Amino acid sequence: MLNHPVGTLMAIVVASSAMAAEPIVMDGSLVYPEGLPIPSSMTPIELEWTERHPLGEGRVATAPPVGQVRCASEYEPMGAILLAWEGGSSYTNIVRQMAVAITTIGEADVFVACDSTSEANSVRSTLSSYGADMDRVYTVVRNTDTVWIRDYGPRYIYIGGDGDGEGACRAIVDHVYNRPRPNDNAYSSYFKDAVGHAFYAHDLVHGGGNYHVNSTGVAAATELILNENPGLNQDTIVDIWRTYQNVETYIHDAFPTSVDATQHIDMWMQIVGDTEIIISDWPSNSGSTQDQICDGAASYYQGLGWTVHRTPAFVSGWTHWTYTNMVLCNDLVLLPKYDEISNTYDTQALNVVQAAMPDRQVVQITCDNLAYSAGVMHCICMHMPAHSGGIYPTTCVQAPSGGSYDPGDTILVEWISDDDKFNVVNVDIELSTDGGSTWSTLSSMTADDGNYSFAAPDVATSGAVVRVLARDGDGNLGGDMSTAFAINGNSVPGDIDGDGICNVNDILALVASWGPCSGACPADLDGDGTVGVDDVLLILNYFEG
């Protein structure tokens, strides 16, 4: 674990961000003027600020996700890449090239965070003029402080679905940004509403670039996470990720801050398959601390049976030149190249990446300006995986989940939803008391607000299930049903008055209860909250004379 006295760390930060832009303190708050190329690493002013204002102070974590959870990997099918239009032309020229390649070659959407409507209009005009597929460009008007959305943006998981992941819903897991950048830290909680995704927040102080995961839940971070959360031990930190993302995380040694000011794992590692990884090598710094860390990691993954590829890396002064900080997006790889160092490294990295991913098109983008600021392209984007249901909406019914109810008990239905175009407009909620063979409607075209309550009908069944079907703006319908639960109704179906037989007295009782009902309502045989024709049809099925 690497710890530094404040004075030493400040010296490192100053050196690593020499001549970098700084936020200003205004009216007791940190303010990030538009157009400043704020580095990925902590600036001196930010470091001083966090000494007085601890990161995550007042943070309230949400309950963790419910249901089958799988953390999305970057080499899987992607629906979109998130970007931020920040830092002036030295950064936005790179953002622009990324957006063009992603929407055309990568065949994915881009969501570009813009500080104002006028900036959003300018961004759309710029991207159009450079050839982006504008049907795939979404501008999100919301203030951000910096371009480094990998570190503050949403980590995506899938919830629900079948064993192959079909029918799952995308959801967001959020953390406390490891920088005192207020608009950045709040972005994920805003973005969830823009796309209608469920949102879960834990209280780890963390930068998203210090994390990689494959599709089977094998994850990696550096020991930076321990320094950022001194009140938590390693087992607790790993368990938080396990609880919220269903992953098992291996904590690697961190680079010295003199080599990499962020100490993030994406600066020297990229997972490109379930058992395949690219790790930096240091031909000009053989035997150095960073070389030993990378060699050790390579041996670790080889010991797991993984295929390991090595790309060159180079450090000069306070600049870390890396190629693992690449962006995977469907059939596209965005690979950094650099003007400042020998193009021999660019060529070597290109050859390795093409050999490792022969089915993907590699596009090289010059990234010196990002490298000077302690990051590269992976640091300025965040991945949103593809919707698992295609054009059909998906839901994940989280309650009821098992259990037993008496007639008249309130049954709470809870669900999350998802759609390829983020436009679920309403849902139908249905009940089956025979394990899904037949269905009755509890509510039609109700709000997609995630919860609905109804009274348990007076039926005896151990195979009751609820189904939530989401409807999108195009009229497509799709959804999921709950696990089975029991209703402890009368042993004689249709026996409304409890005399042990379904007869004319029960029909009279049903008619007397005609119309909407709530609470204990034995005449509501199908549990839809209304005594009506459907209940008459049911009682006729049970009628014994």
Nearest to 279 by CA among 257, 255, 262, 258: 255
Contact 128, 120 (CB under 8 A): no
Does residue 12 have a pLDDT over 80? no
Tell me the pTM.
0.87
Q: Which CATH number fits domain 394-542: 2.40.50.100, 2.40.50.1020, 2.60.40.10, 2.60.40.650?
A: 2.60.40.10
Sheet holding 169-177, edge to edge: 69-71, 155-159, 169-177, 198-206
Which fold would CATH assign to domain 69-385? L-arginine/glycine Amidinotransferase; Chain A (3.75.10)
359: left (phi over 0), alpha (psi -120 to 50) or beta: alpha
- DSSP lists the bridge partners of residue 84 as 113
CA distance 107 to 115: 26
**Pairing outcome for strands 137-141 and 404-405:** unpaired
CA distance 263 to 253: 9
CA distance 228 to 319: 23
56: left (phi over 0), alpha (psi -120 to 50) or beta: left
pLDDT tens by residue, 231-285? 999 999 999 999 999 999 999 999 999 999 999 999 999 999 999 999 999 999 9
State the virtual CA torsion across 295, 299, 305, 306 in degrees, nearest 10.
Answer: -10
Name the pLDDT band for 20 (thresholds 50, 70, 90).
low
Does residue 427 have a pLDDT over 90? yes
Q: What stretch(es) of the chain map to CATH 3.75.10.10?
A: 69-385
Q: What is the C-alpha radius of gyration for the chain, rounded to an integer number of angstroms?
A: 28
Burial, 497: exposed, middle or buried (Cβ in 10 Å; 0-12, 13-18, 19+)? Answer: middle
Name the pLDDT band for 26 (thresholds 50, 70, 90).
very high
Residue 286 DSSP label: T
CA distance 38 to 124: 23
CA distance 168 to 219: 21
Burial, 398: exposed, middle or buried (Cβ in 10 Å; 0-12, 13-18, 19+)? Answer: buried
**Which pair of tokens denotes residue 510?**
């049903």
Q: How many residues does the chain have?
A: 545
pLDDT top residue among 422 and 344: 344
Task: Give the distance from CA 6 to its chain's centroid.
Answer: 34
CA distance 250 to 234: 10
Q: What stretch(es) of the chain map to CATH 2.60.40.10?
A: 394-542
pLDDT tens by residue, 522-533? 788 887 888 999
Contact 467, 497 (CB under 8 A): no
State the virtual CA torsion across 496, 498, 501, 505 in degrees, nearest 10.
Answer: -50
Name the pLDDT band for 325 (thresholds 50, 70, 90).
very high
CA distance 79 to 420: 8
Name the pLDDT band for 228 (thresholds 50, 70, 90).
very high
CA distance 93 to 199: 32
**Which pair of tokens denotes residue 268?**
């020297």
Longest dimension (CA), the chain: 94
Residue 3 DSSP label: -
Segment 402-429 shows an average pLDDT of 95
CA distance 238 to 365: 35
pLDDT above 70 covers a percentage of the chain that reads 94
CB atoms within 10 A of CB 340: 12
Does residue 300 have a pLDDT over 80? yes
Does residue 520 have a pLDDT over 70? no
CB atoms within 10 A of CB 362: 17
Does residue 48 have a pLDDT over 60? yes
